[in-house]
Each structure stands twice: as structure tokens, then as C-alpha cells.
A = this chain, B = another copy of it.
Amino acid sequence: MRIALAQINPTVGDIAGNTAKHLDAIERARQQGAELVVFPEMSVLGYPPKDLLLKPAVLAACAAAVERIAAACTDIAAIIGFAESNPSPTGRDLYNSAAVCAGGKVVHTRHKSLLPTYDVFDELRYFEPGAAVDITSVNGIDLGISICEDLWNQQDVVSRQLYHDNPIDQLAARGAKLFVNCSASPFAVRKNEFRRKLIQHAAKKHALPVVFVNQVGGNDELIFDGNSCVVDAAGNLIAQAKDFEEDLLVVDLDADPGSITNTPRDGMASVYAALVMGLRDYCAKCGFKSLVVGLSGGIDSAVVAAISAAAMGPENVTGIAMPSRYSSGHSKSDAQRLAENLGMKFMTVPIEPAHLAMDHMLTAAFDTDLNDITAQNIQARLRGIILMGYSNQHGSMLVTTGNKSEIAVGYCTLYGDMAGGLAVISDVPKTMVYELARHINAHELPGAIPESTITKPPSAELRPDQKDQDTLPDYAVLDEIVERYIERHDSAAKIIADTGLDAEIVNKVARMIDLNEYKRKQMPPGLKITSRAFGFGRRMPIAQRWRENK
């Protein structure tokens, strides 16, 4: 059997545009002699549709699109993903469905059984779990169709079984001869390896080939890496789609592993590709054609500027340096050199006139000198006004440059450096920002980031001779604590016991993380690249008093 894996990049809610992508892929698959073309989960609506699912008009448009796509499946079959109304008066309103289209109509529908409701996933908010796990035949081959999470409850691979059923085992027991999994499985560093393991395990356990089709593209915080693939009944990879771009991969099920040409990126190469695609798609799907970024001369804004230039073309990115009375000479020259290296537009707007005015206004009004925090935040917020002014004037989206480490401990100013439309590296810990900078300089945009930007000690330059490490522990230490506290939910006590780090530092960092939830509540969406990012997948109360040592 010849199968086409239609790894598309849908836009959430763009049912007309996504339908066109389906029809195009079906036509190209037909021309290449495919008998079946498989699309990702929820391909008609795009994933995750979130509360668009509560709109009856969205569901009606979805149903109409499914009919239209099915009508095009005359001499070819297709499996497409969509949200379907549940006709029962009891239970949740919807199913997360995959429709098998053939002979010009929908011939079979499979309802997703396992509905992830953790981290960034909210599926039980909308969907009723599928009751039946049926197989269906296409051109004489019995297909066992599963949808994303249905593949993820295999007890030999996953440590905790969240669900009581294993649809893969059930499909095999019902006589499936080929597994097809339609997914919208987001990127995280190293996740593709684990996903591959799950796929290969299912194949080997049941001695059946697996066709895995994943969504690609960025949707708000989530980056979908694609990496669709086919493994044979022995678990060998026999086909591999591209990562981080659309692909139509046509595969004969008896293909040879030797024919694979794509190699999934890993490490910093995958993080870089993910962030570039995530930013590019966010702009494209929101309708922005250009970006503006504040350039401090530091490493965070340099890395974000490089990613911006790669995503949108350097001619569509403007860097603005906004020196203050505390800015060092190297900050200004590093910012300018970076902009020149990247070939982006550049301007300098010294903040002194507004800084002076605001200082006088507040000192007079409060009838006292400004304290340190007040004085520092004014500078960051005046810069926010300048950058948002450029954004308003030119229609460019402001990209936010904060990294995960500083956002964790609140070493950032709300409405100041936290302002913007998308936080590009808000899930990248500071130590990884350095790795990314070196990767960019070595492999992506050779030598673009000035060496002094990488080597000088990090500073916010909001008062004379300020250094990050006046306030924070070394970033290597901070990042270890942040990773354990945020991603693993370890307590401070466990972190101290497991790492031997200084108890006072660990407790202080944990407390800073807890206390700064209110800032993160108001941050822009940030691209997710780790197992737990700030934002939609981390839902902490703000007015709360959990204290470990109380």
C-alpha cells in the first residue's frame, strides 16, 4: 500500500484555508499514486482550537468542511481530523474525531479515547472520550486508527498510566493490520526520541507497521515539530518526514530503511529551528510582517534579534538601542554591531529626556527620593513605551527578550522589558541562552553575535555598576533549581537533599519563584521548548500562601 503522510501546518480556526491545504495535499498524493493520505489530529480546525470549540458556528463550519474534503476523496482515501458534535443528550458536547473519507463520503469515524488534560492540554474540557475502538478497512487493509494520546498509555514505556485503557492493544485485538496515528504532539527538547520509542514499541509489541502523522507549525505557545514517520512491523524506521516544515511524504509500506533522507534535528539545532518557526508562524497567523526589538547589548536581546532576523528576514526587523545615563559604552557598540552583523534596521533613542522628566515629576509628587526599585522600573518602562510606540507607529510586533531564569525569579519589569507580543526565549534558561548563542554563531548565522556580548558579565544596567549576580546566584545554580522546582515540582527540601546546593540559596530562589507569579500572569505568550513552560501549561494561584517551611 502507498500512503501519503500530509504533514500540514494549519492555522487554528482558518477552516477555509485548512480545507484548501487538505484538497491540495490530496491532489498531490493522488498524482503520486497514493491510495491513502493521512492528516494530523484536528487537521481541519488546527490544534489546539481551545474555546473556539464552544462556538456552535465553528462546529457547523467544521462539519461542512469535512463534507467538502470527503467529496474530493473519490479515487483516493483520506483520514482527516476534526471536532464533531456529540449527538447524545448526556456527556460532553464534542468528540475529537478522525474521519475516514472514501468514495466521496465519510465512511468511518473514530473518536479519540484518551483525552490529555494536563500541562498545556485541556481536552476533557470539551470532548467526550470515544467509547468504541473499531477498526475499518481501506483497500482491503484493516486499519487501527488512533489519535495522538491514544498511543501514549503503553505501560512498558510510560511510567504512570493515566488511563485505564490502552487503545493500541484494543485495536490490535480487534484485528488491525496497520496502525495509523494522527497527532498534534508539541515539541520539547528531546521529545522526538521518546515519541519514536513509543511508536516503535507499539509496532514491535503487535508486529504491525505504524504510520504516524504529526502536525507541524507554531500555534501560540506551542511549536509542533512534525517529524511524521513510518515504522515497519519489526519497529524499523522506513520513512521520516522533515522537521519544522510542511511535508508530503509518500511511502510504500514495503519501503527499505535505507531510503530515508531526513534526519530530525536535536539539541540546540532543534531549539533554534523551533523558535524560528514558532516566531514566524505567530507573526504570519496574527498578520504581522515586521518586528521590533529592544537591543541592550546583552545576550538575551542578541539571541532574540538573531532569531527574529532568521524568522522574518533582517530587513523586516528593527533594533532599537535605548541607552540611559547608566549604559556602558560597550552596550551601545555591541548593540550596533549586532544589528550590522544581522543586517537589520537600527536606531538609537536615548531615554534621558523622559527619564529626567519622570524622575522630577515623581520626586516632586511623592516629596521624597525614589527608592531603588522605583527608580529602576521607570527606566525599563520608558523603554517599553518607546518600543510600543514604534510598534503602534509602524505596525511591527514587539518581541520580548526575557529568558526563563529571570522570569522565574522576577528579575524583570512588568510593562517594561516584559512588554511585547510574543516572548521568544521565555522558556529558555539563561545557561541555554549561552549555548544557543554559540550555536547561532557557529552554525546558523556565523559570527553574528558579538563575542563581547557572550563573554561580558550579564547586567541590567539600571544603576551604576550593576551585575545580575549582585542579586541572583550563578546562572548554572539558578537554572538547576528552576528546572527541578518548575519542571519536576520538586520541593526546596528535595532539591537541597538531591543536589547538595546551599539551603539558603535554594530556599530564596524557591520563594522568589512563588512570589513572582503575578508578573508571569501578565506576560505575553512565550514559546514552549521544555517539559514545563510558564504560561498556559502552568496554572498557579496568585493570592496563595503555600510556604514549604511553614
A residues adjacent to B (C-beta < 8 A): 11-17, 46, 48-52, 54-58, 89-93, 117-118, 122, 124-125, 160-164, 218-220, 281-282, 285-286, 320, 347-351, 353-354, 356-358, 360-362, 365-366, 368, 370-371, 373-374, 377-378, 381-382, 384-386, 388-390, 392-394, 414-415, 419, 421, 489, 491, 493-494, 518, 521-525, 536, 538-548, 550
Contacts and interface: CB of A to CB of B under 8 A. Distances in A.
A350 B489 CA distance: 47
A426 to B, nearest CB: 13
Contacts of A393: 362, 366, 368, 370-371, 374
Given A358-B385, A365-B347, A389-B362, A545 B285 contact: yes
A541 B220 contact: yes
A46 B544 CA distance: 9
A217 to B, nearest CB: 10
Contacts of A219: 541, 543-544
Contacts of A414: 388, 419
Given A50-B540, A385-B378, A17 B122 contact: no
Contacts of A351: 361
Contacts of A394: 366
Taking the full assembly, how many copies of this chain does it contain?
Answer: 2
Given A11-B544, A286-B542, A373-B392, 8 more contacts: A11-B545, A89-B161, A118-B125, A286-B518, A353-B357, A371-B392, A518-B524, A521-B525
Contact of A91 (B164, B347, B368, B545): B164
A186 to B, nearest CB: 14
A446 B382 CA distance: 40
A35 to B, nearest CB: 32
A311 to B, nearest CB: 14
Given A14-B546, A354-B354, A521-B525, A122 B91 contact: no
A518 B421 contact: yes
Contacts of A122: 117, 122, 125, 539
A371 B56 CA distance: 39
A539 to B, nearest CB: 5
5 contacts: A55-B489, A55-B546, A90-B164, A371-B392, A374-B389
B358 A52 contact: no
Given A362-B349, A385-B382, A419-B415, A541 B124 contact: no
A222 to B, nearest CB: 10
A13 B374 contact: no
Contacts of A15: 546, 550
A89 B378 contact: no
B385 A366 contact: no
Contact of A52 (B356, B366, B381, B541): B541
A158 to B, nearest CB: 11
